[in-house]
Structure 1
Amino acid sequence: MIFATFPLAEALGAVLAHSHRLPGRVLKKGAVLDAAAIAALREAGRDSVVAARFEPDDVAENEAAERLAAAVAAPGLQPGRAGTGRVNLHATGAGLLRVEATQVDRINAVHESLTLGTLPDDVVVAAREMVATIKVIPFAVPGPVLAEVEQLAAAVPALTLHPFRPLRAGLVLTELPGLKESVTDATIAATEARVSALSGTLLPPLRCPHAEEAIAASLRRLLAGGAELLLVAGASATVDRRDVGPAGVVRAGGAIDHFGMPVDPGNLICLGHIGTVPAYVLPGCARSPRPNGIDRVLARVFAGLPVGAAEVMRMGVGGLLKDTSARPLPRARAAGRPPEAMAPAPRRPRIAAVVLAAGTSTRMGPRNKLLVADRGGKPMIARVVDNVLSSAARPVVVVTGHQAEAVRAALGGRPVGWVQASDYAAGLSASLKAGIAALPEEATAALVCLGDMPLVTGRMIDRLLAAYDPDEGRAIVVPTHQGQAGNPVLWDRAFFPEILALSGDKGARELLRHHAEQVVEVEVEDAVLRDFDTPESLARLPQRLRPVDVG
């Protein structure tokens, strides 16, 4: 690739290195300079431009990113579409992500132009969660370099996702005189939350005396009831592999494989099995929902990975999960901050959705367009909100105004927040401002959705969310179809003050021009251009979404 300052006479077909704001238009970084762009630069008084020109064996950044993503992707990991030389990989379902660090290092060491970043090894991921990102640094990559990295990536998997299995877990709780009922209830609640989070189900827990034979009898009952995982929560902590809990596993016909683990809290876990069914005596910290060693163990079990002595003894790195007062400067006391201030930052931004449903619907005639029901009896606003709820956007806030009670009734029971735009008749900006003002502080961005666009699916919305990355200048995400901008539009929190200053019957479209360098466009289906706000437009809905009185 040749990177240089080119005279405009020699710049045709080159890739623009920096954005240029010109009268009437913006030429964005990465644009291929055509005759019209060069003419616009010349009219603006420019005689040269910094750009890149590809050599014969160069591969453009987006194609290179897509090819490397295809080589790295494994079952359960779905590459997204390339944009500005980046492709993100997302999990298609919940599971345990394993990362081969040495292989990732080998890939990154081939050439500075190709990079692969991942989540840490051995982490639980949710469906649609981003697990890795591929970024091509320059505008193009030498073809031989890309081929070498593709071959390397295909040789040894750098990433594997192990889907969680829907195991049935059985829980035995032992009791001693003086043990509070609240302690037992907390243990059940914490265990059920852990199991369900890993796609499992908890069988009805069994309570028994803190005695070897009683524990054994309870374990046998759970096995007969179909338990595929056995857990014992003792009323007293296990202090030896021959203690009451482990002894109960042995008496039920099992064996103890390992006692203890280099994870704190969670040191005193006891791992065993009865036949092919894992049987674990839990540490006392398992009564709490806070992260501890049992979470590491259960994730591997539900992912179908081995959990023996060798695997547990390799959990020491990263195994310190809590502070101790023995340390001279515990993290929670650093800089005088309270413990809750030291909570780890979330791995991904929290993007809220604002659904505008306050308009007077004057163009639809006597009917409120949002309440028009399809052939299945579902109102249009319910279809829109259900699509938004099927995406990763949270929370979802619905802005009401005209016929607010009817709109609320149409969405009855759905997990959304509500805000009333008291001055909704003043125009679209009033509804938009009410929705933005109602978002929680932790929302890093907002996706503004229109209540009359029922063809925009959750899958389309998730593609917009995946494109958002303010650190890389993608702070506003606009869906397009064949070059025409549509809705919904995603706005970073940095633009909320400007949105709140809008007035009149207009949205935030004018802000797009002022912040063109922060906009990323995502090409999607024509649904993002199709709103339905007139009686005639209803006939253009798919058959199943038309009202019964529309042919």
Structure 2
Amino acid sequence: MKFGPVAIADAVGCIAAHTIRADGTIVKKGATVTAELAAKLAAAGITEIVAVRLEPGDIDENAAAERLAERMVGDAIVAESPFTGRVNMFATQAGVLRVDIAAIDAFNAVDEAITVATLPALKAVVAGELVATVKIIPYAVPQTLVEQALDALGNTPPVSVAAYRPSSVAVISTLLPGLKPSVVDKTLRIMRDRLEPAEAMLAADQRVPHEAEPLAAAIAEQAAGAADIIVVFGASAITDRRDVIPQALVEAGGEVEHLGMPVDPGNLLMLGRIAGKPVIGAPGCARSPKENSFDWVLQRYLAGVPVGRRDVQKMGVGGLLMEIVSRPQPRAPGSPERGPLAGIVLAAGQSTRMGAENKLLQPLRGKPILRHAVEAQIEAGLSPVIVVTGHQRAEVEAALSDLPVQLVHNSDYVSGLASSLKAGVAALPPEVPAAVISLGDMPNVTPAVIERLVEGHRAQPEALAAVPTLFGQRGNPVLLARAIFPAVSLLSGDRGARRLLDEAGERVIDVAFEDPAIAIDVDTPEALRALRS
């Protein structure tokens, strides 16, 4: 392939390397120059163009990409038509993506002109999901390079989907005094959500004391039943092979294949087998819909992909999932996105512990404390952002005069926090599905904190609230869903939404943070001095 300047008189049949515009004539990048186009360019005063001329033995980018992609597609994969040297490959069924990593690496090592990119191997995918793409970088490649790339792939297609198989799963939950039945019920609901993409069935819900003998009997019973997979949710985490769950499996006639995983969250997962059926001792984090080691193992079993000791030991790279916030099941193709959530900043308080000063108006890092809280909501994409004023209304409003916020005055602010919360919620548009409630005296809450609360709500829209936690303790801001708004109108005094969260129980999403910003407010001169320093 030749690349470079070509006289316009010699350009017929060449490929334009760049888009050309001259006197109303447009030749797009990658287009073949015809005699008519060459004449128009010449008439416009163009004497030469940068173009590509194929040589004997060259294959144009689309033909090369199509041929290479044909060799790559395996089970449950379809390739689309080539375009600009690219062929995208999509899953035709839900399942687990299988990738021959060595073959892909060898393919990409042939030449810089020939590339393929895939999703991570053994990732759960849904029908219609883009899983791989072949891209030819220049406009053509030599036939010899294409042949080398085909040889690197071998005879077995390197990209395929192990489709989910009809499966049934038996769940055994162990119980201890103090473990609420609602926790087990919630675990089962989340488990059903995990099984739904695979169209798998929850075949049994058995609950026994957290003791080896009754658990062994339950495992043996399920092993003799129709379930394909047995999952044990323990009331206490598995910390040793001699612990209750591994010991019960052995007493039932099974074996423990592996205990522990290089995946976090989910280190304390047990792999076992009985009567030819896999047994999973679920880690505690499997009670949450967030992605963890349990998902990786369960998805593969549901697709008929074996998981053994060596497979587990290879999961460390990419196994740090601490910051992943994911949906319990894939988003349905074409489902509409909900509109933005709203924000409410409570800024009506009297700052009694600050003396004569209004803490919200005190400067911190170049701006009033209140502006930090308001700007965080704006930058997080909340809309509208409502600021509830009260004490020193005019001064507070002046501090925010240039910001796109809706000001709502609470004339009853002296009665306490509840009146401000009610005023803010009452001002929300009827179509808003939820609102993030921020305190005006928490300047260290960043947009990222708010965004993670919103992500938690979108992952579980049926929840009544989402709250940040620091070392297990709840903090601020909080996200309240519309379903809980009527209860806000019943609040009184100086209590905010804390009582509502307690009453909501399992329908509150706890979003864990390591950022102490959710626990820092400015109530005293000493606290302000500490922040400034």
Q: TM-score, normalised by structure 1?
A: 0.57
Task: Give the alignment of 1:15-164 within 5 angstroms.
Answer: 15-155=15-155, 157-164=157-164
Matching residue within 368, 377, 395 for 2:336:
395
Question: Is the contact between residue 62 and residue 85 of structure 1 (CA under 8 Å) also seen in structure 2?
Answer: yes
Deviations 1:498-549 (A, max 9, x none): xxxxxxxxxxxxxxxxxxxxxxxxxxxxxxxxxxxxxxxxxxxxxxxxxxxx
Q: 1:39 to 1:394 in 2, by over 3 A?
A: farther
Structure 1 distance, partners of 2:42, 2:67, is: 37
Structure 2 distance, partners of 1:396, 1:153, is: 40
Deviation at 1:224, TM superposition (A): 4.8
Deviations 1:368-408 (A, max 9, x none): xxxxxxxxxxxxxxxxxxxxx9xx434289xxxxxxxxxxx
Does residue 172 of the first structure (1) align with residue 172 of the second (2)? Answer: yes
Matching residue of 1:443? none
Instruction: Report SS of the residue matched to 2:69.
Output: helix
Deviation at 1:18, TM superposition (A): 1.1
Matching residue of 1:274? 274
Matching residue of 1:328? none
Deviation at 1:98, TM superposition (A): 2.8
Structure 2 distance, partners of 1:93, 1:299, is: 14
Instruction: Report SS of the residue matched to 1:203.
Output: strand
* Residue identity matched to 2:246: P
* Residue identity matched to 1:61: E
Question: Is the contact between residue 257 and residue 308 of structure 1 (CA under 8 Å) also seen in structure 2?
Answer: yes
Instruction: Report SS of the residue matched to 1:248.
Output: helix
Q: TM-score, normalised by structure 2?
A: 0.59
Question: Is the contact between residue 72 and residue 154 of structure 1 (CA under 8 Å) also seen in structure 2?
Answer: no
Does residue 182 of the first structure (1) align with residue 220 of the second (2)? Answer: no
* Residue identity matched to 2:334: A
- Larger Rg, first or second structure (1 or 2): 2
Deviation at 1:143, TM superposition (A): 1.1
Matching residue of 2:263? 263
Deviations 1:461-489 (A, max 9, x none): xxxxxxxxxxxxxxxxxxxxxxxxxxxxx
Deviations 1:113-163 (A, max 9, x none): 111111222211111111111111111111111112112223454333222
Structure 1 distance, partners of 2:75, 2:91, is: 9
Deviation at 1:344, TM superposition (A): 8.7
Structure 2 distance, partners of 1:173, 1:396, is: 36
Question: Is the contact between residue 96 and residue 123 of structure 1 (CA under 8 Å) also seen in structure 2?
Answer: yes
Matching residue of 1:196? 196
* Residue identity matched to 1:3: F
Structure 1 distance, partners of 2:221, 2:2, is: 73
Deviation at 1:249, TM superposition (A): 2.2
Structure 2 distance, partners of 1:158, 1:90, is: 14
Deviations 1:35-92 (A, max 9, x none): 2211221232212221111112110110000011112222222111100000111111
Structure 2 distance, partners of 1:84, 1:150, is: 20
Instruction: Report SS of the residue matched to 1:261.
Output: coil
Question: Is the contact between residue 103 and residue 157 of structure 1 (CA under 8 Å) also seen in structure 2?
Answer: no
Deviation at 1:225, TM superposition (A): 4.3
Matching residue of 1:543? none
Structure 2 distance, partners of 1:150, 1:271, is: 38
Structure 1 distance, partners of 2:198, 2:312, is: 19
* Residue identity matched to 1:239: T
Matching residue of 1:467? none
* Residue identity matched to 1:161: V
Matching residue of 2:10? 10
Matching residue of 1:218? 218
Matching residue of 1:484? none
Aligned length: 338
Deviation at 1:246, TM superposition (A): 2.2
Q: 1:146 to 1:394 in 2, by over 3 A?
A: same
Structure 1 distance, partners of 2:269, 2:317, is: 17
Q: Structure 1 unaligned runs (5+)?
A: 324-341, 351-388, 398-437, 441-551
Q: 1:61 to 1:318 in 2, by over 3 A?
A: same
Question: Is the contact between residue 196 and residue 202 of structure 1 (CA under 8 Å) also seen in structure 2?
Answer: no
Structure 2 distance, partners of 1:232, 1:394, is: 34
Deviation at 1:242, TM superposition (A): 2.5
Deviation at 1:175, TM superposition (A): 1.4
Instruction: Report SS of the residue matched to 2:154.
Output: helix
Q: Structure 2 unaligned runs (5+)?
A: 339-430, 434-533
* Residue identity matched to 2:304: G
Instruction: Report SS of the residue matched to 1:172.
Output: strand
Question: Is the contact between residue 254 and residue 274 of structure 2 (CA under 8 Å) also seen in structure 1?
Answer: yes
Task: Give the alignment of 1:78-477 within 5 angstroms.
Answer: 78-155=78-155, 157-322=157-322, 392-395=333-336
Structure 2 distance, partners of 1:216, 1:317, is: 34
Deviation at 1:24, TM superposition (A): 4.3
Q: 1:177 to 1:344 in 2, by over 3 A?
A: closer
Structure 2 distance, partners of 1:111, 1:84, is: 18
* Residue identity matched to 1:395: P
RMSD: 2.6
Deviates more, 1:185-194 or 1:241-250: 241-250
Structure 1 distance, partners of 2:297, 2:30, is: 47
Structure 1 distance, partners of 2:3, 2:171, is: 65
Deviations 1:236-258 (A, max 9, x none): 22222232222332333322222
Structure 1 distance, partners of 2:321, 2:217, is: 34
Deviation at 1:99, TM superposition (A): 2.6
Q: 1:229 to 1:343 in 2, by over 3 A?
A: closer
Question: Is the contact between residue 18 and residue 28 of structure 1 (CA under 8 Å) also seen in structure 2?
Answer: yes
Structure 1 distance, partners of 2:169, 2:23, is: 66
Question: Is the contact between residue 261 and residue 268 of structure 1 (CA under 8 Å) also seen in structure 2?
Answer: yes
Structure 2 distance, partners of 1:153, 1:270, is: 36
Structure 1 distance, partners of 2:337, 2:284, is: 38
Deviations 1:341-391 (A, max 9, x none): x8699xx9x9xxxxxxxxxxxxxxxxxxxxxxxxxxxxxxxxxxxxxx9xx
Structure 2 distance, partners of 1:66, 1:343, is: 36
Matching residue of 1:478? none
Matching residue of 1:409? none
